[in-house]
Amino acid sequence: MTSRPVALVTGGGRGIGAAISHRLARDGYDVLLTYNTSSKPAEMVVDEIRVSGADALAVKVDCSDEGEVGLLGIHAWMNRKIDVLVLNHGRYDRVPAAEMELDDLRRTMKANFEGAVNVWKVVQPHLATNARMVVVGSQLATRGSPHGADYAASKAALSTWARSLALAVGPEGKRVNVLAPGYVDTDILAGDSDSKRAQRIEEVPLKRIGTGDDMASIVSFLVGDDAAYITGAVLHANGGLYLP
Q: How far apart are CA 89 and CA 191, in angstroms?
A: 20
Residue 1 pLDDT > 80: no
Q: Give the tens place of pLDDT for each residue, 22-46.
A: 999 999 999 999 999 989 999 999 9
CATH topology of domain 6-237: Rossmann fold (3.40.50)
DSSP conformational letter for 114? I
User: For helices 66-73 and 115-123, what crossing angle results, to 10°?
Assistant: 20
User: For helices 102-109 and 149-169, what crossing angle results, to 10°?
Assistant: 40
pLDDT, mean over the chain: 95
| Best CA proximity match to 91, nearest among 189, 11, 191 | 11
How crowded is residue 117: how many other Cβ atoms within 10 Å of its Cβ?
16
Residue 225 pLDDT > 50: yes
Q: How many residues does the chain have?
A: 244
| Total-model pTM | 0.95
Q: Give the tens place of pLDDT for each residue, 123-161.
A: 999 999 999 999 999 999 999 999 889 999 999 999 999
pLDDT level of residue 2 (50, 70, 90 thresholds): low
Establish how many alpha carbons lie within 13 A of residue 217's alpha carbon, considering only the half-sphere containing its beta carbon. Answer: 6
Radius of gyration of the chain (CA): 17
Contact call for residues 85 and 127 (beta carbons, < 8 A): yes
Note the pLDDT of residue 190: 81
Q: Is 151 designated active site?
A: yes
Residue 54 pLDDT > 70: yes
**What is the mean predicted confidence (pLDDT) over 174-198?**
91
Sequence spans of domains, the chain: 6-237
- Which of 35, 92, 151, 183 is catalytic? The answer is 151
Q: Give the tens place of pLDDT for each residue, 76-97.
A: 999 999 999 999 999 888 888 8
